[in-house]
Amino acid sequence: MPPRKKRSKKNKNHFFTKVHEDAIVKYANTEDNELRSKLYEEYIQPAFDQMVDKIIYTYRFTTLPNIDYLKADCKVWLTTILNKYDPNKGSKAFSYFSVVTKNWFIHKVKRTQKRNQTEIFMEDILNELDEDLISTEPTYLQKRQDIEFWSSLHGEIDTWDAFMLKENEKKVLMAVRILLDSADTIEIFNKKAIYLYLREITGLNTKQVVNNLNKLRKRYRTFKNKWQNGEI
C-alpha cells in the first residue's frame, strides 16, 4: 500500500503574521505613546479583530448572551495586557493571545452558567416567600435582576429583625438572608435544596420552616408592591 501523501498545512494565521508579532513586541518594549498608537491601529488591532472572531466561532462562543458586547469588551481587555507579553518566555504572540482570549471567553461561559443557576435558585427562594410569583408576575424576573432591587431587598430584610417576636421567625429570616447572600457559592440549585438548607441552618423541621416562611410572605409582598409602585 503506497504511503499517504502528507497534506500541506495551510497557513491558518494569515491575519497574524511575523509583521504582527514584531509589532506587538515593539509595542511592549516602548513607552512612546504615539508609536504605540500607530502600531496598534495599523497592525495589532486588525489582527486582534480577526483572532477574536475566529476563536468565537471555532469554540462556539456565539451562544453567549450579548456576544457582540463581549467581543468588543474582550478586544478592549486585550489592549490592557499588551505590555504583559514577554517574547523571551518562548511563546509567540499569536499563541499567547489566542490562549488568553479563549480562557477569557471560557470564564464568561462559566459565569453565565453560574448566573443562570443562581437566578433559578434565588427565584425558588423568593417563590417560597411569594407563592404566586411565577403565575401572576411573568415579567418579575427581569425586574428583580436589577441590582437596585437586590440592594433594596437586602436592606429591607435587615429591618425585619426589629419586628420578629418569635425565635423561630428570627431563625428562618436569618437563614433566608444567608441563602440570598451565598447564592453565588451554592452548588445545588433546586427547590428541595432550599428546605434542606433552611433546615440545616435553622435546626427546625420542615413544618416549622414552612410555617415561619408563611409569616414572612406578608412582609415580602408588602415590600414587593412598594418596589413595583415606585415607592422605594
pLDDT of residue 183: 60
Query: pLDDT of 14-57, one tens digit each?
Result: 778 999 999 999 998 888 889 988 999 999 999 999 999 999 99
CB-based contacts of 173: which residues, under 8 Å, 6+ apart? 157, 160, 161, 164, 216
Strands (DSSP E) contained in the chain are: none
**Residue 224: pLDDT band with limits 50, 70, 90:** confident
DSSP-derived letter for residue 208 is: H
Say whether 9 sits in a helix, a strand or coil: coil
Q: Higher confidence at residue 190 or residue 102?
A: 102
Q: Is 5 exposed, middle or buried (0-12, 13-18, 19+ CB in 10 A)?
A: exposed
Closest by Cα among 68, 43, 59 to 101: 59
Say whether 187 sits in a helix, a strand or coil: coil
Query: pLDDT of 118-161, one tens digit each?
Result: 555 555 565 655 554 444 444 444 544 455 666 677 777 777 76
Q: Which of 74-83, 94-103, 179-188 has the lowest mean pLDDT?
A: 179-188
CB 47 within 8 A of CB 93: no
Sequence letter at residue 60: R
DSSP-derived letter for residue 40 is: I
Q: What is the radius of gyration, based on Cα positions, of the chain?
A: 26
pLDDT of residue 134: 43
- Find the angle CA(213)-CA(217)-CA(228) to the nearest 5 degrees: 145
Task: Please report, rounded to a whole number, the percentage of residues in the chain having pLDDT higher than 70.
Answer: 68
Q: Which of 4-8, 31-35, 75-79, 212-216 has the lowest mean pLDDT?
A: 4-8
